[in-house]
Structure 1
Amino acid sequence: MATAEGYDRLAVLKEFDESKTGVRGLVESGVTTIPPIFRHPDLHPSDASPDLSIPTIDLSLPRPLAVDLIRAASRDWGFFQITNHGVPLPVLDRTISAVRSFHELPPAERSKHYSRSTDGGVSYSSNVDLYRSSAASWRDTIQVMMGPARAEPDRIPAVCRAELVAWDEHVTGVGRALMGMMAEGLGLGPGRLEEMTCLEGRTMVCHYYPPCPEPDLTVGIADHTDPAVLTVLIQDHIGGLQVKRKGEPGEAYWVDVKPLPGALVINVGDLLQQMISNDEYNSVEHRVVANSHQEARVSIGVFFNPGKRGESDFYGPLQELVSPEKPACYRNFTISEFMGTFFSKQLASKSLIDHFKL
């Protein structure tokens, strides 16, 4: 059935999806305007605040000081960048370059990998919520499951296989160090989050944001929070990631996460806010604006989640952080219920945390 805009939206979505070449394919075809499925009618582009930036934390500082800074950033911002994290810059550069190489394969080669199915632990598609969202976003993604069970190696495209597997080893070490300090910031033992298997579930999402001919009409990723314990992100030099910052009551504005050579971007996920910290840490909305540059933007995020996901494995605020003065803010739930709730909504939905509030 034709919509009020004069086209059959579902048919157009299917045609785009079945092209198997993603947004990159649209750019390769020479489009000068974005298709209607990508237009966000309620988008209100606004300049980010030029005077603010998220905290940057040097992990070579004495541990007590680094823990204090991470605790403050996790409470106040929910986002921060880290330097001196132990990962050599060439490793980061190789990882970004390998992801770019995959997304810039010839269409016939790229399309061989295109699928929304996660069988085998790997999927390459455009917009995980393509059929659920009210408007598509200007990006493509290859997603690789690295834990609890790693994707079958031959399912990972050869052009980026070695680099992504190597990055998983590095980022697991970074995640372990961060979880230790974030746990200490909550007054817990440094191994508490790892004991809860929060290091075991790892999903790597490798985003590619092609140049957009009408960047004021769409987004790279709509504003959302991450359904994770913790996210570790590499971003290239292009920029575009923004964090929502609340000001006076009823006011909010966007803050650019400026690319910093060699730094990693860290953010608190919904699970850490509600499952563990009982609102001590803050999972905040963020987005990626559509790419107005001539060069494509690349980022690689790793979502850390619990590896234990049985129907008898319940998660909720840690008892050590619950008291008569600070009762539990959320009910207990399983990871399958949590992720099922997330995937039943469009990415931009803000109701995930509220769903589990007491």
Structure 2
Amino acid sequence: MDLTSSVGNKLVPGDELGYDRAKEVKEFDETKAGVKGLVDSGVTKVPRFLIHPPESLPNPMLSPATTHFQVPVIDLQGFEQSFQRMEIADQIRKASETWGFFQMINHGIPVSVIDNMLEAVRQFHEQPKEKKMEWYSRDQKQRVKYYCNGDLLVSKAANWRDSIAFDFRDGPLNPAALPLVCREVVSGYMKHVIELRKALSELLSEALGLNTDHLENIECMKTETLVCHYYPACPEPDLTLGTTKHSDPASLTILLQDSIGGLQVLHQNHWIDVPPVHGALVANIGDFMQVKVLALSTLHILLVQSFIQLSKWDAFEL
């Protein structure tokens, strides 16, 4: 099986006569080793099914307009108190209207918990593939699963990343159902994130001019899914992406970056870097939240549609 063939830097998946993408993808998926397995095997070329067409790749001649734009940073310190709460809710309103994104500091999750989470996910993905393979699955009903690209079998160009996902939509997970290497850390992190989710639900309700418990009552942010992406070093990074541009379908995504960076958001037709801030989290207003807002005809606030593009970073989505 040849998973390393590429013809220069101009190859686009499907261009080469006789190339059987479905066969190559099936053989890759059956290894259950992900792109980390490719790296471990010593590949020097990106497989064809991971190569993106030139128009989808970043243009190195167009640097992000970081000089003129900066994603809002909101300090949640003291949000329980009346005066600070009104100011914080107003900042969230403005950031949601103009960006659809904001970074959060002093959000209540200890830095040690965040650091441990990043390390635990790294340890999971960097353990021997034999220990990861038992978690590899494309079964949508499996609540804990490791995989490479959720749409690998149908996408025209797959992304250079592996993921492990934890589905809390049907309630808490039994700790025994989580991989041992990250079991305790994931459980502890989620307890903190759920508390933050509750606070943000209230603050977003107030930012919209609604009762504090409005979003909670309509179950707008009732359930959680934790997705942890891993982007190993790529031998030909100019040919592929960690994640293509997209908008998130959920109500709210809470993103945790590592120190490498790579997260960008689209603002006024510019891709803007979101520089990693140690201990900070990024909030992304999702499509479902926008639908809910648009359905409330008495409101005069419109949350902008937001897109994100990533290259190499670890992310955790709620």
**TM-score bracket relative to the smaller structure:** 0.7 to 0.9
Partners of 1:165 and 1:229 in 2: CA distance: 22
Deviation readout 1:110-145 (Å, 9 max, x if unpaired): 112111113341111000111222100000000101
Deviation readout 1:159-197 (Å, 9 max, x if unpaired): 111111111110011111111111111110111111122
Mean CA deviation greater in 134-143 or 144-153:
144-153
Written as runs of structure 1 = structure 2, the 5 A alignment for 1:207-356 is 207-246=229-268, 252-278=269-295, 280-289=302-311, 291=312, 297-302=313-318
Count of residues in correspondence between the two structures: 290
Partners of 1:217 and 1:108 in 2: CA distance: 29
Partners of 1:178 and 1:152 in 2: CA distance: 26
Mean CA deviation greater in 197-206 or 228-237:
197-206
In the alignment, residue 244 of structure 1 is paired with which amino acid? Answer: L
Partners of 1:110 and 1:256 in 2: CA distance: 32
In the alignment, residue 289 of structure 2 is paired with which amino acid? Answer: L
Deviation at 1:298, TM superposition (A): 2.3
Q: Could you tell me which of 23, 37, 58 is aligned with 1:45?
A: 58
SS of residue in 2 equivalent to 1:159: helix
Per the normalisation by structure 2, the TM-score is: 0.87
SS of residue in 1 equivalent to 2:168: strand
Partners of 1:131 and 1:139 in 2: CA distance: 15
Percentage identity across paired residues of the two chains: 43
Residue of structure 1 in register with 2:72 after alignment: 55
Written as runs of structure 1 = structure 2, the 5 A alignment for 1:160-239 is 160-239=182-261
Could you list the structure 1 runs, at least 4 aligned residues long, displaced by more than 4 angstroms after superposition: none
Deviation at 1:3, TM superposition (A): 4.6
Residue of structure 2 in register with 1:9 after alignment: 21
Residue of structure 2 in register with 1:85 after alignment: 107
Does the CA-based 8 Å contact 1:148-1:200 persist in structure 2? no
Segments of 5+ residues of structure 2 without an aligned counterpart are 1-12, 79-83, 296-300
Partners of 2:304 and 2:14 in 1: CA distance: 39
Partners of 1:120 and 1:19 in 2: CA distance: 19
Written as runs of structure 1 = structure 2, the 5 A alignment for 1:96-175 is 96-175=118-197
In the alignment, residue 141 of structure 2 is paired with which amino acid? Answer: D
Does the CA-based 8 Å contact 1:43-1:217 persist in structure 2? no
Partners of 1:193 and 1:156 in 2: CA distance: 30
Segments of 5+ residues of structure 1 without an aligned counterpart are 247-251, 292-296, 303-358
Deviation at 1:32, TM superposition (A): 1.3
Q: 1:148 to 1:281 in 2, by over 3 A?
A: farther
Residue of structure 1 in register with 2:3 after alignment: none
Residue of structure 1 in register with 2:81 after alignment: none
Partners of 1:70 and 1:100 in 2: CA distance: 32
